[in-house]
């Protein structure tokens, strides 16, 4: 996970927008759930985006429903953290 992606997950959308759209505000405590979600997911799916990008969506129910999205690197050797959100 790079710093820009972590910053985006923590503050990229803004607390007001997240609450308004029915999402859980992501804080440092919730961000620490990411390893657990990746290793103990309830559901994972592969999505092919229109621009040719492929991404994995990991989902886990932990009180709220948390989702982490990672993109598959161009050489298919790396997973790159994209975003993290929770639904109320």
Looking at per-residue pLDDT, the higher value among 4 and 57 belongs to 57
Query: How confident is the model over 33-68, as pLDDT tens digits?
Result: 888 888 898 989 988 888 877 888 888 888 877 777
List, in order, residues 6 or more apart from 69 with CB less than 8 Å away.
55, 56, 57, 58, 82, 83, 84
pTM of the model: 0.71
> Could you tell me the sign of the dihedral formed by the alpha carbons of 39, 36, 31, 12, in that order?
positive
What is the residue extent of each domain of the chain?
3-87
Tell me, what's the pLDDT at 25?
75
The proportion of the chain whose per-residue pLDDT surpasses 70, expressed as a percent, equals: 76
> Per-residue pLDDT for 7 more than 80?
no
């Amino acid at each position: 996970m790079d710093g820009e992606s972590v910053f985006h997950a923590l503050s990229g959308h803004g607390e007001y927008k997240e609450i308004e759209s029915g999402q859980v505000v992501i804080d440092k405590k919730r961000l620490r759930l990411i390893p657990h979600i990746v290793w103990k997911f309830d559901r994972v799916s592969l999505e092919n985006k229109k621009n040719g990008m492929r991404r994995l969506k990991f989902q886990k129910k932990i009180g709220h429903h948390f989702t982490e999205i990672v993109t598959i690197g161009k050489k298919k050797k790396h997973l790159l953290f994209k975003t993290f959100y929770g639904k109320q």
